[in-house]
Copies of this chain bind each other. A is one copy, B any other.
Amino acid sequence: MTTDLADFLPQLDRDIRDRADWGRVADYIPELARVDPAQFGIAVALADGTMISAGDARKRFSIQSVSKVFSLACVLGRIGEQIWTRVGREPSGSRFDSILLLELEKGRPRNPFINAGALVTTDELLTGRSPRDALSEILGFLTAATGDGDIHIDKHVAKSEDETGFRNRALANYLKSYGNLKNPVDYVLGTYFHQCAIEMTCEQLALAGRCIAGLPGAPSLLSEQRARRLNALMMTCGHYDASGDFAFRVGLPGKSGVGGGILLVAPGRASIGIWSPGLNGNGNSQMGSYAAERLARVMDWSVFRSS
């Protein structure tokens, strides 16, 4: 398997660079709008402990919503299943920043991977501690998960989003109006924007996902059951309003971010970090989604595999 991958990844990288349809970088965060869309990296951490990568796999990017998986993992570690009294576990059938369902459902977000739900998760993480400490907990989780202390927050990106994140500010205030934020709105948003502004490389992301993929030798940060449940949430809700399509095409749990990152999980087999900053119409990485589909097919890694 290692040999195949070592051949396949560079070839995938070349194929992608030959294609012209990189998509568009997210333009609602000015700092991200300046990123060149024509970039691509991929890193695969395998069950045997090896890491294979290609392209811009060691370049740092803004993980944005991929961070929602890690903040949820921290919250589950802290308060366990109680979080589900405040947020649901259902796909939303709507865009990542939709406020419509939040009105119909009276302030209870559909799941922790749309923005409204992630704000509730972050609020829970903040309860009883400072924003700085909450962020330290997420970074600490990532350090433990990757074994790499060199993971930081890009404060320019956080500041850029703080200045222009009106949609998220609307969501947070709306949640607050329903009593579904415990902490001051500005604290929650500040923490959320910093959490989203964490920078990682594809290789770091692949390392961080090992505990969710349940790879042998991965740091023991999640129980087997909790890891499976995170996988289930990623599969049904990880790609916003394209989650069904991603499950259909790729057959693996994944979580995307508007920075162009995707954390992809092949339980027991591999943890994969992918990055390409151009987005498709659903706000997911265009080339990243394509790479995920190609990789899953070549390696035959669907969770629905019968043999």
Task: Tell me, in angstroms, the Cα distance from A173 to B233 when the chains sit together.
Answer: 29
Whether B235 pairs with A247 at a CB distance below 8 angstroms is yes
- Of B100, B103, B253, which contacts A304 at CB under 8 A? B253
A227 lies within 8 A of B267 (CB): no
> Contact: A99 with B174, CB < 8 Å?
yes
List chain B residues, Cβ under 8 A from A102.
99
Known A-B contacts A173-B167, A232-B248, A251-B232; A99 and B90 likewise in contact (beta carbons under 8 Å): no
- A303 interface neighbour in B167, B185, B215, B304, Cβ under 8 Å: B304
Chain B residues in 8 Å Cβ range of A267 = 303-306
Q: Given A90-B243, A166-B173, A170-B174, do A306 and B248 touch, yes or no (CB 8 Å)?
A: no
A150 interface contact, C-beta 8 A = no
Least CB separation from A267: chain B residue: B306
| Choice from B185, B244, B304 contacting A90 with Cβ under 8 Å | B244
Given contacts A244-B237, A248-B89, contact A228 B176 (CB under 8 A): no
The answer to whether A91 and B243 touch across the interface, beta carbons within 8 angstroms, is yes
Residues of A150-184 contacting chain B, CB below 8 A: 166-167, 169-174, 176-177
Q: Contacts of A92 on B, CB cut-off 8 Å?
A: 93
B91 and A98 within 8 A (CB):
no
A195 within 8 Å of B by Cβ?
no
How far is A102 from B170 in the complex, measured between Cα atoms in Å? 12
Check A90/B89 contact, CB under 8 A, given A170-B177, A251-B228, A305-B267.
Answer: no
**A88 vs B224: C-alpha distance when bound (angstroms):** 33
Determine which of B241, B248, B268 lies in contact with A229 in the assembled complex, contact meaning CB atoms within 8 Å: B248
Across the interface, do B244 and A304 meet the contact criterion of CB distance under 8 Å? no
Q: Is A7's CB within 8 Å of the partner chain B?
A: no
A146: interface (CB < 8 Å): no
A245 interface hit (Cβ, 8 Å)? yes
Which residues of B are found within 8 Å of A235, using beta-carbon distances?
235-236, 247, 304
Are the CB atoms of B91 and A94 closer together than 8 Å? Answer: no
Within 8 Å of chain B (Cβ to Cβ): is A20? Answer: no
Known contacts A89-B248, A236-B247, A268-B307, then 20 further A-B pairs from the complex at CB < 8 Å, ordered by chain A residue: A88-B244, A89-B244, A91-B91, A99-B100, A100-B103, A111-B244, A166-B173, A166-B176, A166-B177, A167-B174, A170-B173, A224-B306, A228-B305, A229-B251, A233-B244, A233-B248, A235-B247, A253-B304, A267-B306, A303-B303
* CB-based closest 9 A-B pairs: A214-B306, A93-B93, A268-B306, A91-B91, A166-B177, A231-B304, A170-B173, A170-B174, A90-B244
Residues of A bordering B, CB below 8 Å: 28, 88-94, 98-104, 110-111, 166-167, 169-174, 176-177, 185, 213-216, 224, 227-229, 231-233, 235-237, 241-245, 247-248, 251, 253, 267-268, 302-307
